[in-house]
Amino acid sequence: MKIPSAILATVALLIASASAQQEPLNVVNANANEQQQQGLVEPTVAEPIGFIDAGKGGLLPFTSSEFEGLERGEWPQSRPSEITPQSDEQFKASALSNDEIQSVLNAHNYYRSLHGSPPLTWNWEAANFGENWLQYCAFQHSHGKFGENLAAGHRDFPTAIQAWYDEVNSYNFGAPGFYSGTGHFTQVVWKSTRSVGCAKRACPRWTIYICNYDPPGNIVTWDNSYFRDNVTPRLG
């Protein structure tokens, strides 16, 4: 599907105006870790994010709900309001341990190997970007330069990454493209992505997990050629 140039220009303006804005998380309970361990917090993933190929190397980020609007000839009417900063003492930021970093790489590279995608290496810039983005516990995409997957309420990174990958069961390899229910999976296995950096933050309601990918996946063009080349069926 070809996106009209006028719509692309409007999306670019909307994204630029919101690049530093976030939506506050609805805080309902301060015992996030305890509730997660007891299975009282329902794990979830944020809607997937993709990029429109704007030509000349330019990529315009969008969420899946925004993309559905674009397909109908619409565009977002509003953007998230500015977040109210809160004291760092309220939240527990956690740089990942070496074991956690390895678990992230192991999980990604296992699933990628099933589809013939090359293994990822660790990207410190992407990890630091994600850590900074989560500082106010906003469960929302950054619309930054990286590909990005978000999850919350999961036990650890491997279970969050598995939830992203499990979307493979809904992906139609016969009609490749960006879909709201499979965008996390396609980013996980995207062949041209070479590195990943992840972060987490224990917030009042739950722990949020973020992974940022470079180069980004989920690149949309009128013929979906990027998806055909980068998201292939399981080997064997």
The answer to whether the CB of 134 falls within 8 A of the CB of 17 is no
Q: What is the DSSP letter of 92?
A: E
Mean pLDDT of 6-13: 39
pTM, 2 dp: 0.73
Mean pLDDT of 116-136: 95
Evaluate if residue 82 carries a pLDDT over 60: no
Evaluate if residue 125 carries a pLDDT over 90: yes
- Tell me the pLDDT band of 51, cut-offs 50, 70 and 90: confident
- Tell me the pLDDT band of 134, cut-offs 50, 70 and 90: very high
pLDDT of residue 201: 95
Give the count of beta carbons closer than 10 Å to the beta carbon of residue 41. Answer: 22
Edge-to-edge strands of the sheet including 219-220?
Answer: 58-63, 49-55, 219-220
